[in-house]
C-alpha cells in the first residue's frame, strides 16, 4: 500500500539528482522504512502519523495528490471536477500515447493534477493538487485546462482557489501547446483576482519551470513546505550554463523566503490551520 | 509561401546574426523612437529594448528583445536572454502605454529567459508569471511579432497579445530543439530531428492557430537586406492600429482572453 508514496526530498539529494528521484520510488515496501535523509530505520506508521515526514529528522516525503487532499480537506468533503478529460497528443510525439496508457493502467492516476472543491475547516474552497508521480507533474494541455476550469468556476462561485504546486515544468511532449498553458492559467487568475477573490499558492517539492513562471508565483499569498526545490531554471541546467557549482541552499523554500518571493514556510501539520486563517481573513 | 526549407534549416536561419534585430526593425518601421530605460527596482536590462515610437500620427509603445552581433555588444545584450528586470521594465512600459492609450508592439527574439544564479535570486519565475498575468488585462491592443527565436517562457512573456505574427524563418518553441532532444531522448545531437517533430515553424504554427499571420522573407533572406520585411511590417502595423482604433477596452481584453482560452 505504501509503495510509490514516498520520495526522497531535497535534503536527501544533491540538486542534480532531482530528476532521478522523481522517477524512482526510493523506499521499498514494508513495515519499516529507511529515511533517505538521516539513514535511520523508522516505523512506517510513524511516518504516516507524522504527516509523511521522518519522525527522527523531519525530512518530508513526497506525497500523492489524494493523500494531500485527505491531509487538508475536511473529512469526506472533497468533490472532484473535470476528471474525464483525455490527454491530447498534439505533436503526435513518438511513444507518448503508449507511455500515458502504461502509466495510467499501472497507477490509476489519469493526469498530473486533481481538481475539485472541498471544505477546509468548514470553509468552501476550489482546490487543485498536482501529482508529481505523473510525468514529473508536468503541465500539458489538460493540466492547463483543468486549472483554468478550476479558476473560472471559482470566479463564478466566488470561491477562494488553493493550488498545491508540484511540477517539473511544462510538458515537453506537447511542445508549444504546453507553453500556452502558462498564459491561459495566468489570465484566468487575473480575472479571479479582479473579482476580489483569494488565491493561495502552495509550493511543494519540486516546483520549477513553466509552473513557477505562471500560476505558482501568482498567489495573493504564497506558502511553501520546508526544504522544497523551487525555481525557474532547473539546478542542473544552471550548473551546465554557468559551469560552476551552486550554493548549498540555492532554490530552496528558505532561499526564496530570504529573497522575498514567498510569504511563509509552513509545516504540514500547520497547513490546514494556516489556509483556514487566510480564507477567514480575506473575505 | 513555398515551404521548401525544413524545420532545422529554419532554426539556423532564425539564429543567423545576419538577420535584422529589434532595433533594426524599429528604425525601418517607425518615424521616431525614444528609448526609455529601467525597471525602477533593480536595473536596466540591455537584453530588452523599450520606448515610445511614432508611426505616421500614432504614438505606440515598442518593447522587444535585443541581441548583439559581437561579443562586445552581447556583454550588454546578453544574447537577447532577458533577466527579471527586463520583464519588469517591459511590464512597466506596457502599463505606461495603457495609461496613455498607446497601442503596444512587441518584437520577440530570444533563445529563452536568462538562466543563472542572479536571475533566480531576483525572481525570474515571478517576473515572467507577473507579466503574463498583467498583460492579459492591458486595456490597449497588443501586437507581438516573432522576428527570430521565440524561445520558451522568455518569448511568451512578450507574447500575450491580441495578434501574434511570425516571420517566415522565425521559430517559436517550448525549448530549443537541442534542449528538447536532451530532455526527451538524452541526446542533444538529435536536435534536427527534434526540430521536425516540435512544430516550431511559422507555417506549422499558423496551421495550429498559435499565430495569426506569417510575414514572407523570400526577398530578404536571399539578399540579406531586410527592408522588404520592414516594409511589410510597417503596412501590417498600420492596419493593426487602424483595426483596433475604435474597439472598446473591454472588447480588446475579451478578445485576448478568448485567444488564449482556446489553447
Which domain, by its residues, includes B18?
7-261
Q: Are residues A86 and A207 in the same domain?
A: yes
Q: Are residues A56 and A105 in the same domain?
A: no
Cα–Cα dist B185/B198, whole Å = 13
Q: Are residues A190 and A98 in the same domain?
A: yes
- Which of B133, B174, B200 lies nearest to residue A218, judging by beta carbons? B133
Q: Which triple of cell numbers denotes residue B103?
A: 497601442
Cα–Cα dist B135/B212, whole Å = 18
**Pick among A182, A188, A211 to test the B interface (most B CBs inside 10 A):** A182
* Residues of chain A contacting residue B137, judged by C-beta atoms under 8 Å apart: 187, 190-191, 194
A155 interfacial to chain B (CB closer than 8 Å): no
User: How many separate domains does chain A show?
Assistant: 2
* Residues of chain B contacting residue A241, judged by C-beta atoms under 8 Å apart: 115-116
Alpha helices, DSSP H, located in A133-202: 141-157, 176-194
Residue A194's domain is classified under what CATH number?
Answer: 3.90.226.10
In a domain, B1, yes or no: no
Q: Are residues A51 and A85 in the same domain?
A: no
Of A199-203, A244-248, A262-266, B53-57, where does mean pLDDT reach its minimum? Answer: A244-248
- Supply angle C-alpha B195, B191, B116, rounded to 5: 105
Of A21, A37, A62, which residue is a domain's last?
A62
Average pLDDT, chain B: 96
Q: Which residues of A208-241 are buried (b: 16+ CB within 10 A; e: fewer)?
A: bbbbbbbbbbbbbbbbbbbbbbbbbbbbebbbee
* Residues of chain A contacting residue B121, judged by C-beta atoms under 8 Å apart: 259
* Residues of chain B contacting residue A91, judged by C-beta atoms under 8 Å apart: 197-199
Q: Which residues of B65-82 are buried (b: 16+ CB within 10 A; e: fewer)?
A: bbbbeeeeebeebbbbbb
- Which of A183, A191, A237 lies nearest to residue B115, judging by beta carbons? A237
Of A62, A89, A112, which residue is a domain's last?
A62
Sort strands A161-167 and A199-207 into parallel, antiparallel or unpaired: parallel
Q: Do A170 and B173 touch (CB under 8 A)?
A: no
pLDDT > 90? residue B221: no
Q: How large is the average pLDDT for residues A145-155?
A: 98
* Residues of chain B contacting residue A251, judged by C-beta atoms under 8 Å apart: 120
Q: Which pLDDT tens digit goes with each residue over A13-33? A: 444 443 344 333 444 457 888
Residue A3, pLDDT score: 46
Nearby residues of A175 by Cβ (< 8 Å), 6 or more positions away: A90, A91, A93, B173, B174, B197, B198, B199, B200
Average pLDDT, chain A: 89
CB A187 within 8 A of CB B136: yes
Q: How large is the average pLDDT for residues A241-253?
A: 90
Residues in A 260-279 with any Cβ partner in B closer than 8 A: 260-261
Cα–Cα dist B65/B61, whole Å = 14
Cα–Cα dist A65/A63, whole Å = 7
Q: Do A172 and B257 touch (CB under 8 A)?
A: no
Q: Are residues A180 and A256 in the same domain?
A: yes
Residue A1, pLDDT score: 42
DSSP-derived letter for residue B30 is -
Q: How large is the average pLDDT for residues A44-62?
A: 89
pLDDT > 80? residue B111: yes
Q: Are residues A46 and A72 in the same domain?
A: no
- pLDDT cut 70: percent of chain B above it: 99
- Nearest chain B alpha carbon to A19: B183
Nearby residues of B225 by Cβ (< 8 Å), 6 or more positions away: B219
Which domain, by its residues, includes A29?
1-62
Of A23, A42, A62, which residue is a domain's last?
A62
Residue B69's domain is classified under what CATH number?
Answer: 3.90.226.10
Q: Do A238 and B152 touch (CB under 8 A)?
A: no
State the sign of the Cα–Cα–Cα–Cα dihedral A207, A208, A214, A217: positive
A242 interfacial to chain B (CB closer than 8 Å): yes
DSSP-derived letter for residue A88 is P
Q: Are residues A218 and A167 in the same domain?
A: yes
User: How many separate domains does chain B show?
Assistant: 1
Phi then psi for residue A221, to 5 deg, are -130, 135
Q: Are residues A267 and A206 in the same domain?
A: yes
Cα–Cα dist B196/A183, whole Å = 25
* Complex prediction ipTM: 0.96
Shortest Cα distance, chain B CAs vs residue A41, angstroms: 35
Run of H or E residues at B108: strand B104-110
Q: Do B129 and A178 touch (CB under 8 A)?
A: no
* Cell 538562466 belongs to residue: B115
Residue B7: band (very low, low, confident or very high) from pLDDT cuts 50, 70, 90:
very high
A246 interfacial to chain B (CB closer than 8 Å): yes
Q: Are residues A15 and A4 in the same domain?
A: yes
* Residues of chain A contacting residue B184, judged by C-beta atoms under 8 Å apart: 172-173
In a domain, B2, yes or no: no
* Residues of chain A contacting residue B125, judged by C-beta atoms under 8 Å apart: 212-213, 216-217, 231-232
Shortest Cα distance, chain A CAs vs residue B189, angstroms: 16
pLDDT > 50? residue B245: yes
* pTM summary value: 0.92
Residue A61 region by backbone torsions, left for phi larger than 0, else alpha for psi between -120 and 50, else beta: beta
Q: Is A123 exposed, middle or buried (0-12, 13-18, 19+ CB in 10 A)?
A: middle
Q: Are residues A8 and A131 in the same domain?
A: no
Amino acid at each position: 500500500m505504501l509503495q510509490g508514496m514516498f520520495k526522497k526530498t531535497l535534503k536527501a539529494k544533491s540538486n542534480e539528482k532531482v530528476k532521478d528521484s522523481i522517477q524512482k520510488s526510493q523506499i521499498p515496501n514494508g513495515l519499516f522504512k529507511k529515511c533517505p535523509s538521516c539513514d535511520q530505520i523508522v516505523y512506517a506508521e510513524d511516518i504516516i502519523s507524522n504527516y509523511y515526514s521522518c519522525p527522527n529528522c523531519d525530512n518530508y516525503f513526497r506525497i500523492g495528490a489524494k493523500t494531500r487532499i485527505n491531509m487538508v480537506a475536511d473529512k469526506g468533503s472533497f468533490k472532484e471536477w473535470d476528471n474525464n478529460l483525455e490527454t491530447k497528443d498534439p505533436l503526435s510525439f513518438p511513444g507518448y500515447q503508449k507511455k500515458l496508457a502504461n502509466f495510467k493502467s499501472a497507477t490509476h492516476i489519469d493526469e498530473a493534477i486533481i481538481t475539485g472543491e472541498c471544505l477546509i475547516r468548514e470553509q468552501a474552497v476550489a482546490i487543485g493538487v498536482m501529482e508529481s508521480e505523473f510525468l514529473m507533474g508536468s503541465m500539458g494541455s489538460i493540466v492547463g485546462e483543468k486549472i483554468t476550469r478550476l479558476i473560472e468556476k471559482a470566479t463564478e462561485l466566488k470561491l477562494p482557489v488553493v493550488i498545491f504546486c508540484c511540477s517539473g515544468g511544462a510538458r515537453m511532449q506537447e511542445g508549444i501547446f504546453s507553453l500556452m498553458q502558462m498564459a491561459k492559467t495566468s489570465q484566468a487568475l487575473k480575472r479571479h483576482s479582479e473579482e476580489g477573490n483569494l488565491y493561495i499558492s502552495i509550493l511543494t517539492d519540486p516546483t520549477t519551470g513553466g509552473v513557477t513562471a505562471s500560476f505558482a508565483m501568482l498567489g495573493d499569498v504564497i506558502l511553501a513546505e520546508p526544504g522544497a526545490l523551487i525555481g525557474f531554471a532547473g539546478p542542473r541546467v544552471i550548473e551546465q550554463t554557468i559551469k560552476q557549482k551552486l550554493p548549498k541552499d540555492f532554490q530552496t523554500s528558505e532561499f526564496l523566503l530570504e529573497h522575498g518571493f514567498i510569504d511563509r514556510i509552513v509545516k504540514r501539520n500547520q497547513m490546514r490551520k494556516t489556509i483556514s486563517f487566510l480564507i477567514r481573513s480575506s473575505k | 509561401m513555398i515551404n521548401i526549407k525544413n524545420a532545422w534549416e529554419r532554426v539556423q536561419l532564425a539564429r543567423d546574426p545576419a538577420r535584422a534585430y529589434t532595433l533594426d526593425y524599429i528604425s525601418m518601421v517607425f518615424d521616431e523612437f525614444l528609448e526609455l530605460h529601467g525597471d525602477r527596482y533593480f536595473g536596466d536590462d540591455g537584453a530588452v529594448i523599450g520606448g515610445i515610437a511614432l508611426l505616421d500620427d500614432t504614438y505606440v509603445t515598442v518593447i522587444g528583445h535585443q541581441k548583439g552581433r559581437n561579443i562586445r555588444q552581447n556583454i550588454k545584450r546578453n544574447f537577447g536572454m532577458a533577466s527579471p528586470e527586463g520583464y519588469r521594465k517591459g511590464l512597466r512600459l506596457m502599463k505606461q502605454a495603457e495609461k496613455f492609450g498607446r497601442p503596444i508592439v512587441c518584437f520577440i527574439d530570444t533563445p529563452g529567459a536568462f538562466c543563472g544564479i542572479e536571475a533566480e535570486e531576483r525572481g525570474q519565475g515571478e517576473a515572467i508569471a507577473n507579466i503574463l498575468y498583467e498583460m492579459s488585462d492591458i486595456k490597449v491592443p497588443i501586437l507581438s511579432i516573432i522576428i527570430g527565436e521565440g524561445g520558451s517562457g522568455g518569448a511568451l512573456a512578450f507574447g500575450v497579445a491580441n495578434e501574434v505574427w511570425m516571420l517566415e524563418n522565425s521559430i517559436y518553441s517550448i525549448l530549443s530543439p537541442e534542449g528538447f532532444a536532451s530532455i526527451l531522448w538524452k541526446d542533444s545531437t538529435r536536435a534536427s530531428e527534434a526540430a521536425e517533430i516540435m512544430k516550431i515553424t511559422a507555417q506549422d504554427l499558423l496551421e495550429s492557430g498559435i499565430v495569426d499571420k506569417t510575414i514572407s522573407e523570400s526577398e530578404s533572406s536571399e539578399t540579406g537586406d531586410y527592408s522588404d520585411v520592414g516594409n511589410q511590417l510597417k503596412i501590417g502595423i498600420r492596419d493593426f492600429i487602424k483595426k483596433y482604433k475604435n474597439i472598446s477596452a473591454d472588447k480588446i481584453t475579451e478578445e485576448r482572453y478568448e485567444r488564449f482560452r482556446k489553447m
